[in-house]
Amino acid sequence: MTRERASALLVVADGMFLLHRTRIADFAAKSHLPAIYGLSEHVEAGGLVVYGASLRENSRRAATYVDKIFKGAKPADLPVEQPTKFELVINLKTAKALRLTIPSSVLLRADEVDHRWHGPLTGDATESAWNGYLLTVACSCGVVFERWVTLGDAMNALIAWSRLEASRI
C-alpha cells in the first residue's frame, strides 16, 4: 500500500481483521490513511469510520433462529435474512489526528460518534416554530453537535451534560 501510495483503506467485516484491529488502526494512523471498517470494534481500537451491519443486531437475530430450532423448527424451513440495521460510527479523535473535518451533516446521521472529552462542554436549547427544540452542544475543541429534540429530551440532555461537566471539575 505504501509503494502504491494508497489514499484510503477499506477493511471488510472479517474475523481475521477484527482480531488484528489495533494493528490495522495503528498502521492506518502511521500511514496517514483514512480508513473505513465493517465492524464497530474497529473504531474502539482507533479506526476512523465504521459503516456496516450491526453485529449486535445480527447476534440478536441469530439467537431467535436458535430459539426457533430448539422449539422444533427445521433449519431448512427458516427463511434466510439479510441485515436490516446498519451502523455509521465515527471516531472524531482519529479524524482530528488525520486533520480531517467531518461535515456536521455526516455527524448528525451517525449512530454513534466516539468523541473523547478534551475540554468543557456548553449546551443550549432554543425553541423552534414547531414547538421542538434545537439542542446545541459544543466542546471547547470546536466540535459542535446539533439535533432537533422534544422539550423533555432537551432538558434531559442538558441536565446530563451539566452533571458530566460537574464530575470533571
Classify residue 119 by its DSSP letter: S
Look over the chain and give the mean of its residue pLDDT values, rounded to a whole number.
75
Structural domain count, the chain: 2
Q: Are residues 19 and 81 in the same domain?
A: yes
**What are the pLDDT digits (tens) for 34-60?**
999 988 888 888 888 988 887 778 888
DSSP string across 27-93: HHHHTT--EEESSTHHHHTT-SEEEEE-HHHHHHHHHHHHHHHHTT--GGGSPP-----EEEEEEHH
Distance CA 58, CA 81 (A): 10
* pTM (whole model) above 0.75: no
Lowest mean pLDDT among 8-22, 60-74, 112-126: 112-126
Q: Are residues 25 and 108 in the same domain?
A: yes
Q: Are residues 104 and 149 in the same domain?
A: no
Q: Are residues 30 and 16 in the same domain?
A: yes
Distance CA 168, CA 11 (A): 36
Which residue, among 134, 112, 138, 110, has the nearest Cα to 123 in the 3D structure?
A: 138
Distance CA 42, CA 17 (A): 9
Q: Are residues 98 and 26 in the same domain?
A: yes
Q: Are residues 109 and 140 in the same domain?
A: no
SS3 at position 13:
coil
CATH number at residue 26: 3.40.50.2300
Query: The domain containing residue 1 runs over which residues?
Result: 1-115
